[in-house]
Amino acid sequence: MRAETGYFTSFDGCRLFYRSWRKSADSALLIVHGLGEHSGRYDELASFLSELSVSIFAFDLRGHGNSDGPRVFAEDFEQLTKDLKSFRTLVQRDLQPNITRFFVLGQSLGGLIATKVVLDGTEDWDTLILWAPFFGIPFGHAALSVLCSILDLIVPRMIWDNPVPAVYLTHDVEELARYRSDALVQRRITIHLAREMFLACRSVGLRAEEITLPLVVMAAGDDRIVSLKRTISFFNRCRSQNKTLKVFDGFFHELLHERERAKPMMMLKEELIRRGL
């Protein structure tokens, strides 16, 4: 199933790029990608789910991929959550007005964005699906958070290269080569965006008990990018009556691009089928 592409104008006039894999369905899965990547990296997942009765939509975060905006930067985290809300409005109002059920899947930073939007409570979501969500880093979380806050006062737009080697994203050598050669991938972050992410992590961590909608969390057992401990703690504190956690032992951070990615993709497919798709 080939993606249709286009641009939409977000709440503040920023032009964002999107992809859609549409079919005659009344349910939609909105995908929010991770830091430094883009929506095109989810084409394989969309094809894998093509048998289901669900339309799939994904957009490039501001400052990412084909979207406008300063690279890997946001004035505040609320810009990112409002972009997701604007995208949902576009889907519901213009792209496919018959949609009545919305599922949201967030990968890494996208998981943090999706969780914040759910906690805002201004939209009705059927299920929150998180893949290796960014709720903190594995080591030195508090110290790096303080450092970012200090540097943000001095050089907010300074760019940091990602200190974690790309080899810790996936064991799949071919996928790693594709990642490294992808001109739209950015292995960096601005100080200000890093600070905003840490602040959002704190906010989400304090409000986990407010999550009551159906929840599916998939995590990597050998994640060097995000904290597995914080993910499990968040999951345990959520009050959802219908919630599922699966840790894929031996996986690096990029579940969708690991050698055995068929396992998390199949689990997602089965979870969606259980929900009538």
Write the pLDDT tens digit of every residue in 123-161: 999 999 999 999 999 989 999 999 999 999 999 999 999
At 2 the pLDDT is 83
Question: What was the pLDDT predicted at 88?
Answer: 98
Q: How many Å apart are CA 228 and CA 141, to the nearest integer?
A: 13
pLDDT of residue 80: 99
Alpha-carbon gap, residue 261 to 121, rounded angstroms: 32
- CA dist 104 to 111, 157, 180, Å? 9, 30, 27
Count Cβ atoms within 10 A of the Cβ of residue 138 and give its class: 0-12 exposed, 13-18 middle, 19 or more buried. Answer: middle
pLDDT at 1 over 80: no
The residues near 167 (Cβ < 8 Å, ≥ 6 apart) are 176
Q: What is the pLDDT of residue 5?
A: 98
Strands (E), the chain: 4-9, 15-21, 27-32, 55-59, 101-107, 127-131, 159-161, 188-190, 215-220, 243-248
Range 236-247 average pLDDT: 98
pLDDT of residue 213: 98
pLDDT at 101: 98
Domains and CATH numbers, the chain: 2-273 (3.40.50.1820)
Question: How do residues 168-194 score in pLDDT, each as one tens digit?
Answer: 999 999 999 999 999 999 999 999 999
> pLDDT per residue over 28-64, tens digit each?
999 999 999 999 999 999 999 999 999 999 999 999 9
* Mean per-residue pLDDT over the chain, rounded: 97
With a pLDDT cut of 90, the percent of the chain lying above it is 97
Phi first, then psi: give them for residue 190, nearest 5 degrees: -80, 150
Compute the radius of gyration of the chain from its Cα atoms.
17
User: Taking Cα atoms as reference points, which of 255, 201, 223, 197 lies closest to residue 79?
Assistant: 197
Q: Tokens for 15, please give them.
A: 């032009």
Q: Are 241 and 268 in contact (CB under 8 A)?
A: no
With a CB cutoff of 8 Å and minimum separation 6, the contacts of 204 are 112, 115, 116, 119, 135, 234
Hey, what amino acid is at 129? I
Q: Residue 21 gets which letter from DSSP?
A: E
For residue 58, CA distances in Å to 164, 212, 224 come to 26, 24, 25
pLDDT value at 195 more than 90: yes
Mean per-residue pLDDT, 9-23: 98
Mean pLDDT in residue range 60-78 = 98
Q: Looking at the predicted structure, is the pLDDT value of residue 240 above 80? A: yes
Buried b / exposed e over 5-35, threshold 16 CB at 10 Å, is eeebebeeebebbbbbbbeebebbbbbbbbb
Strand partners, 57: 20, 30
Q: What is the DSSP letter of 64?
A: S
Asked if 192 contacts 157 with a C-beta cutoff of 8 angstroms, the reply is yes
> What is the band of 163 on the pLDDT scale with cuts at 50, 70, 90?
confident
